[in-house]
C-alpha cells in the first residue's frame, strides 16, 4: 500500500493566525495613534479658545483706555500767580486741568469762611480739542445747578485791554454775580471768570479789574508770545483799589454813562 506524505506547503494554514494577529495589532496601533492625535488636537483647540476669550480682558487690564476729557493734573508747576483779592476770611485754591489734545486750564477759586464760592479766574490755553462757546461755559460756572442765559453788562479796562462783562439775564432773587471774558489772539489765550464780591455793580467791576491787574506770569514755558503778552500788560497795570470813590473811577463804563445792553448772549 502506498503511503501519501503530507505536502510541505500545507502548513501555511498554521501561519495565518499569526499574520492576522500582526495585522490586527497594527490596526489597533494605528487607531490608538489617531485617537491620541485627535485628543491632543482637541486639547489645543480648547486651550486656544480659552486663551482667546481671556485676551480682551488682559489687554484692557494692561492698556487702559486713554482719557477723553479734562482731568486734574497731578503736582503741576504753577504758571500764574495772583495776590489775594481780600485776605479777610477768604481761601484761595489753585488747580491745573489738562486735556489729552493739549489744552490747559489754570483755575483760581476763592471761597469765604463758610466755603461758599465768591470768585473764580480761569486762564485757558487751548490745544487741539474742540472748545465750547465761552459764554456758555461761564454761565455754567456761574450757576452749576442749571445753566442760565447771560447778557452783556458793559466793558471795563484792565492791563490786558477791554474786558467784556456778563450777568444773568434774569435775576431770580439769588445773590448778584458778574462774569467777565477777555480773548487774546496771539497767543491763543482766554481769560474768564466771575465774582460775587461787592454790594453793587460798580464795586464788582472794580473787583474784576483788580483781579486781572494782579494776575502775573510765573512761567511761559516755550511760548515767547505768552511772555510778551504779560510783559506788555505790566506796562498798562494800574493800582488796585476795591472800595471808595477811587473804585468807581476805575470803571470807564459805569453809572448813567453806562449803556444798558440788553439781550442774552
Order across the sheet with 71-72: list the strands. Answer: 71-72, 91-98, 104-111, 117-125, 189-195, 178-184, 161-168, 150-158
Distant-in-sequence, close-in-space partners of 184: CB < 8 Å, separation ≥ 6: 160, 190, 191, 229
Please give the residue that has the higher pLDDT: either 260 or 126. 126
pLDDT at residue 104, as a whole number: 94
User: Whole-angstrom Cα distance, residue 89 to residue 159?
Assistant: 27
For the entire predicted model, the pTM comes to 0.66
- The lowest-confidence range among 19-28, 110-119, 158-167, 194-203 is 19-28
pLDDT at residue 120, as a whole number: 94
Neighbours of 173 (CB within 10 A): 5
Query: What average pLDDT does this structure show over 130-136?
Result: 85
pLDDT at residue 224, as a whole number: 93
CA nearest neighbour of 261 among 151, 163, 144: 151
Is the pLDDT at 95 greater than 50? The verdict is: yes
CB 136 within 8 A of CB 148: no
Distances (CA, A) of 166 to 18, 134, 155: 108, 11, 9
Please give the residue that has the higher pLDDT: either 85 or 237. 237
Amino acid at each position: 500500500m502506498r503511503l501519501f506524505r503530507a505536502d510541505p506547503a500545507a502548513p501555511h494554514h498554521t501561519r495565518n493566525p499569526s499574520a492576522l494577529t500582526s495585522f490586527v495589532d497594527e490596526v489597533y496601533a494605528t487607531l490608538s495613534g489617531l485617537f491620541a492625535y485627535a485628543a491632543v488636537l482637541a486639547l489645543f483647540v480648547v486651550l486656544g479658545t480659552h486663551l482667546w476669550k481671556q485676551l480682551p480682558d488682559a489687554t484692557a487690564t494692561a492698556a487702559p483706555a486713554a482719557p477723553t476729557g479734562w482731568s486734574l493734573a497731578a503736582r503741576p508747576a504753577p504758571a500764574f500767580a495772583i495776590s489775594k483779592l481780600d485776605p479777610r476770611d477768604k481761601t484761595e485754591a489753585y488747580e491745573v486741568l489738562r486735556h489729552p489734545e493739549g489744552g490747559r486750564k489754570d483755575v483760581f477759586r476763592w471761597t469765604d469762611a463758610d466755603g461758599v464760592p465768591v470768585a473764580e479766574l480761569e486762564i485757558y490755553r487751548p490745544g487741539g480739542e474742540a472748545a465750547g462757546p465761552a459764554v456758555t461755559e461761564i454761565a455754567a460756572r456761574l450757576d452749576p445747578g442749571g445753566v442760565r442765559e447771560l447778557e452783556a453788562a458793559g466793558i471795563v479796562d484792565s492791563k490786558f485791554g477791554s474786558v467784556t462783562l456778563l450777568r444773568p439775564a434774569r435775576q431770580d432773587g439769588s445773590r448778584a454775580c458778574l462774569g467777565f471774558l477777555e480773548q487774546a489772539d496771539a497767543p491763543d489765550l482766554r481769560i474768564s471768570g466771575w465774582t460775587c464780591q461787592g454790594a453793587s455793580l460798580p464795586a464788582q467791576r472794580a473787583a474784576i479789574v483788580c483781579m486781572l491787574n494782579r494776575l502775573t506770569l510765573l512761567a511761559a514755558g516755550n511760548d515767547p508770545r505768552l511772555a510778551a503778552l504779560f510783559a506788555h500788560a505790566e506796562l498798562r497795570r494800574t493800582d488796585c483799589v476795591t472800595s471808595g470813590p477811587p473804585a468807581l473811577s476805575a470803571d470807564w463804563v459805569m453809572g448813567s454813562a453806562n449803556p444798558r445792553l440788553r439781550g442774552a448772549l
